[in-house]
A and B are shown apart, each in its own frame.
Chain A
């Protein structure tokens, strides 16, 4: 179970407004896995105060933050509610104190600026610095001497002007410009700053993310709801939730940019029990038209990440029914996957740790989409033999006599195909570059790059076999189809080697989504071809490949081999077996 930022309640002023239903920012709701740990963390590191008789609520310098136990699929960054902002007397002092806490366990994750510094001055505005709580809520510190305490909520919008109009006209905030620089809406002492969403596409919906929703208190909730309904907004009628502490009613409305907004009556005091929120922002179902490069080919260029697909098993687990997991199942599968694949790494080491990764975990049940069973077709005798050998090596690998006894991945030679495309626990970047007639595909781990011609080229000779085979591509409409043959057969994929024919299909299915299909044909190993699929997500704004110089820093080889020799010496001395 992941944490959710629940509710922040600002004990601010009720704003006078042109409409009857002027609202007050009442609480921020954070979803997370451990509400009581969150109350402690916010107390220890942010100086927020526990609220009597409300063990899952903290009073954060004037703002009520309600923590709800629940499953989140990502942090606040990348949603319409990017972060919350606190004003402190001295940002640098605060950040240094938090740096001293460290990241271990439920520590403090600092977000440094590009030059490594923790604090940056924005002339005329304030100094600021950023951290994350252990469950993925982004927190900004500023120094605004006029208003120490809970300072702002930072929204990101594809259309900031429209968002500001919404919060001003519908909820009765006061539109303004903070210190002549930041546009936003004021609710009492607290600002909602609204900035342009910096990425391609739209912000993710806040539902299911760390900051789940923000809540406004309103005196006359019925009038406001009627007003919203007249504006054709997607409103859920107010009602007193189960286990509510008071008789205050709570309704919800989908705000701009996927921001879930709660409306509560002023005497709202939350609920006794954990409460899950089920209103999902409307999905954009418009069919996607792939843009063209300036020279007229479908444009797949960019920095893609396979993070959202990490954890999808190749084959459908037999106990699962249906084609899609629930968000909760997907999150717990991801948590198992990240914990299970690399042991001993702290959460911060894993790119796909829930709460940090920007994208939601895929709900796909299995990669295999054909056959529809989601499972590989039956293997031939040779296939079974090879598969068994791989399993034996995986679970019972003998001590390595030399480098060649270790896997080609451990040796930093290659993961092979299609293994190199598969999402892992980290370094899932996929950079696609194009020039007329060519596509280059580089996977971050272990910096292998495939240059694929998209116009007919003669095949390579029979005597040229490669680890990654020969890739030959063509455009089928907007889909890049790549056929790969000519494998040297030494990087075996589930038993397939030198006879493998791999066909890949790369297709953009949305502004920020790339569908990757791979069809495996090898009749010496399987009795029928089969196809898998998963997605990559565009992340041009932030992601960049790091140089995964694997072989150059492969201390693991030295350690594994010297440890093997040491074990053999020990065995020889004690007269035991190797």
Chain B
């Protein structure tokens, strides 16, 4: 039930319909054009960034104690498990084993879509009249959702964040994203996609301060069938909520270039 907001939305509508003598109360804030107003600072809760699937807790390198442990969490994959092809399941296992060195988040690489939306950091939605921008603090990631293109355009070049075209379907912002380079991991557990990934995202307001977020993942080179994640995004309600700079590059440099440092063992190898 947690993964499906539809029954909840229906209740609101029915309640509105019954109270015929009351002025209709719109639970969704509206933008200048009547579409839902998604402006503001949002953030996912939960453990999707650690592992998209159901998982108990597990540990990591012990050097820093509990900091490297993974908290337990309910999965956000609607189908329960990601329908990997056999080779891809094996690849995921290899990724998991190497996650503290190979996850693209560890290296401060751009997080890609959909991962940017459920990292444990706030992001800012700016809803303009032609574009919607999403600005993330991590790795200076951002995306521009083109609302002004009648037909989606091919991505001119593959990229980490892909190319996004959006449209409104009723009160749902639907975003088609493609043109990924296939390098960004989907979480810290090694889940992944390839450069043939296509993502259809649906942002459906549940009220003024929450959005039901769904992302349907289609990648015939990695999965046996499309699959979907679904989770809520919450508005950050602090009066001064904002996205702060998280320029993480320098925290990744020892991992990436430490072997080339003066005095490092076998320097230059």
Do A and B originate from a single complex? yes
Q: Give the distance to chain A from B119, nearest Cβ to Cβ, in Å.
A: 16
B interface majority secondary structure: loop
Checking A115, A446, A545, A549 against B144 with a beta-carbon cut-off of 8 angstroms, the contacting residue is A545
Over the window 431-452 of chain A, the binary record of Cβ atoms lying under 8 Å from chain B Cβ atoms (1 yes, 0 no) is: 1011111101010001111010
Chain B residues with CB under 8 Å of A402's CB are 253, 257-258, 260-262
Chain A residues with CB under 8 Å of B257's CB are 402-403, 557-558, 561
Instruction: Say yes or no: B244 contacts A565, CB within 8 Å.
Output: no
Q: Which of B58-66, B85-93, B149-157 lies at the interface?
A: B149-157
Instruction: Say yes or no: B245 contacts A468, CB within 8 Å.
Output: yes
Indicate if A512 sits at the interface (CB-CB under 8 A).
no
Give A77 to B126 CA distance when docked, in angstroms. 33
Q: Which of B44-52, B133-141, B185-193, B225-233 lies at the interface?
A: B133-141
Instruction: Say yes or no: B144 contacts A433, CB within 8 Å.
Output: yes
Question: Closest B-chain residue to A439, C-beta based?
Answer: B126
**Given A402-B257, A549-B110, A551-B109: A435 and B262 interface contact (C-beta under 8 Å):** no
Q: Give the distance to chain B from A416, nearest Cβ to Cβ, in Å.
A: 11
Q: Give the distance to chain B from A502, nearest Cβ to Cβ, in Å.
A: 15
Chain A residues with CB under 8 Å of B215's CB are none
Give A566 to B260 CA distance when docked, in angstroms. 10
Indicate if B250 sits at the interface (CB-CB under 8 A).
yes
Q: Which of A27-35, A293-301, A385-393, A513-521 lies at the interface?
A: A293-301
Checking B161, B250, B268 against A547 with a beta-carbon cut-off of 8 angstroms, the contacting residue is B161
Indicate if A206 sits at the interface (CB-CB under 8 A).
no
A-B pair number, CB within 8 angstroms: 134
Question: Closest A-chain residue to B160, C-beta based?
Answer: A549
Instruction: Say yes or no: A435 contacts B128, CB within 8 Å.
Output: yes
Give A458 to B258 CA distance when docked, in angstroms. 40
Q: Which of B94-102, B197-205, B235-243 lies at the interface?
A: B235-243
Indicate if B127 sits at the interface (CB-CB under 8 A).
yes
Give A564 to B259 CA distance when docked, in angstroms. 13
Instruction: Say yes or no: A114 contacts B156, CB within 8 Å.
Output: yes
Question: Closest B-chain residue to A468, C-beta based?
Answer: B245
Instruction: Say yes or no: A565 contacts B260, CB within 8 Å.
Output: yes
Chain B residues with CB under 8 Å of A301's CB are 128-131
Instruction: Say yes or no: A451 contacts B126, CB within 8 Å.
Output: yes
Give A569 to B267 CA distance when docked, in angstroms. 9
Instruction: Say yes or no: A433 contacts B131, CB within 8 Å.
Output: yes
Give A460 to B245 CA distance when docked, in angstroms. 12
Indicate if A523 sits at the interface (CB-CB under 8 A).
no
Chain A residues with CB under 8 Å of B262's CB are 401-402, 564-565, 568
Over the window 249-266 of chain B, the binary record of Cβ atoms lying under 8 Å from chain A Cβ atoms (1 yes, 0 no) is: 110110011101111000
Question: Closest A-chain residue to B143, C-beta based?
Answer: A547
Q: Which of A211-219, A233-241, A321-329, A407-415 lies at the interface?
A: A407-415
Which chain B residues in 141-178 approach chain A with CB under 8 Å?
142, 144, 153-154, 156-157, 159-161
Checking B127, B144, B250, B260 against A561 with a beta-carbon cut-off of 8 angstroms, the contacting residue is B260
Q: Give the distance to chain B from A54, nearest Cβ to Cβ, in Å.
A: 43
Indicate if B196 sits at the interface (CB-CB under 8 A).
no
Give A332 to B153 CA distance when docked, in angstroms. 38
Give A434 to B132 CA distance when docked, in angstroms. 9
Q: Give the distance to chain A from B11, nearest Cβ to Cβ, in Å.
A: 30
Instruction: Say yes or no: B126 contacts A547, CB within 8 Å.
Output: no
Question: Closest A-chain residue to B109, C-beta based?
Answer: A552
Indicate if A466 sits at the interface (CB-CB under 8 A).
yes
Chain B residues with CB under 8 Å of A411's CB are 249-250, 253
Indicate if A544 sits at the interface (CB-CB under 8 A).
yes
Binding site for B on A (CB under 8 A): 114-115, 293-295, 301, 401-404, 411-414, 431, 433-438, 440, 442, 446-449, 451, 453, 457-458, 460, 464, 466-468, 544-547, 549, 551-552, 557-558, 561-562, 564-566, 568-569
17 A-B pairs, CB-CB below 8 angstroms?
A114-B156, A293-B128, A294-B32, A295-B31, A301-B128, A402-B258, A403-B253, A431-B144, A435-B128, A440-B142, A464-B244, A547-B157, A547-B160, A547-B161, A557-B257, A562-B260, A565-B262
Give me 8 other A-B pairs in contact (C-beta within 8 A), A447-B142, A448-B140, A546-B159 excluded: A293-B129, A294-B129, A413-B250, A435-B127, A437-B39, A549-B110, A551-B252, A562-B268
